[in-house]
A and B are shown apart, each in its own frame.
Chain A
């Protein structure tokens, strides 16, 4: 995969793009995780 990158700019665009997608997934995942962790708090 690294042979696809010819410039630092290419590398940054690719990795930052992956991180942005990951962050969206993580934010949604965290909502689920938080409700799983705290769902029975008031029992």
Chain B
């Protein structure tokens, strides 16, 4: 780099400044949360003990991290090797997603140091929440092991890397089992609240809705995250990653369109089984139709058109819409349609510090992702190792 070039490069880009401000505010709120407690930083109440940190950081975080198990299952169980280049970024996104879910949980629970209690002191095996906790803890471990080949290649630990690579299929199967269990159980948590959750969102099928929509979230996140990494980290990618991009976008777009069609259908069947049609003519019904038509039917159709026309741009934009749809769905179930019968002044609206922590955690995830992909062989094959 010439002397002039070094001088012309800005020391801090606007994005760095914004990230820095978010981190400083996040650290301030963190101190406030752990010194002043939940009351000092949240609007949680006995009516709404689960707020934004559960609705967004946990429910959305877990759903959007489903790309790890979806991609590794496609490649290692169903043998779709043409998607191999998408596995490591998807596993990294999944691992960071789950790690940040557990991190965020420390803010939300009253006594975070007691998080290991369900496993050590009282197992509470009949609780769905215990099952979710156990699955998330196990799956986070599985994702950590699945991701270790990248740092081991980076550090040059050949023997250890080869041992972990031999576990790939077993870890993938374990990942699919654990994901099926806890993605659906997160929905099953709401089965206990038929009088609190609006009838349009409440259904005996809610565990199935959560699982199927998590597959959509996983597929869409792989496309969405892939389009961002191709834009910002193209220089880190090898030939195979750049060449397989089209296959990944078209293949995952087609799968997402198909699963969205299935999801739309089971949502309609859910309405018919409980005979909830009359609520569609209410205010909540209008919002439900926005979710059903705008965030399920529309992305389903746009994905299908994109796949037919081989329009990668359309598929990538649609993945953003589908991801937004998952966010809307999880927030509807946990916050907007929850406690719908309460008078307006009793309803929960998150404190600004709750928003600050959620943004802080997403920013942390992006920064760690950036740190890892600029150093480790995630977007390229390490020249000293064969692809597995």
Contacts and interface: CB of A to CB of B under 8 A. Distances in A.
Interface of A: 1-2, 11, 14-15, 18-19, 22-23, 26, 30, 33-34, 36-40, 43
A18 B304 CA distance: 28
Contact of B308 (A2, A11, A36): A36
Nearest to B258: A37
Interface stretch (B43-51, B271-279, B368-376): B271-279
B257 interface: yes
21 contacts: A1-B277, A15-B273, A18-B272, A19-B269, A19-B273, A22-B268, A22-B269, A23-B269, A26-B265, A26-B269, A30-B265, A33-B261, A36-B308, A37-B254, A37-B258, A37-B307, A37-B308, A38-B254, A39-B308, A40-B309, A40-B310
Secondary structure of the B contact surface, majority rule: helix
A22 B308 contact: no
A30 B261 contact: yes
User: Main SS of chain A's interface residues?
Assistant: helix
Contact of A37 (B273, B277, B278, B304): B304
A32 to B, nearest CB: 11
Contacts, number: 42
Interface residues of B, number: 18
B58 to A, nearest CB: 33
A18 to B, nearest CB: 5
Interface of B: 254, 257-258, 261, 265, 268-269, 272-275, 277-278, 304, 307-310
B272 A15 contact: yes
A37 B272 CA distance: 27
Nearest to A14: B275
B200 to A, nearest CB: 15
A10 to B, nearest CB: 11
Contacts of A30: 261, 265
Nearest to B277: A1
Contact of A19 (B272, B307, B309): B272
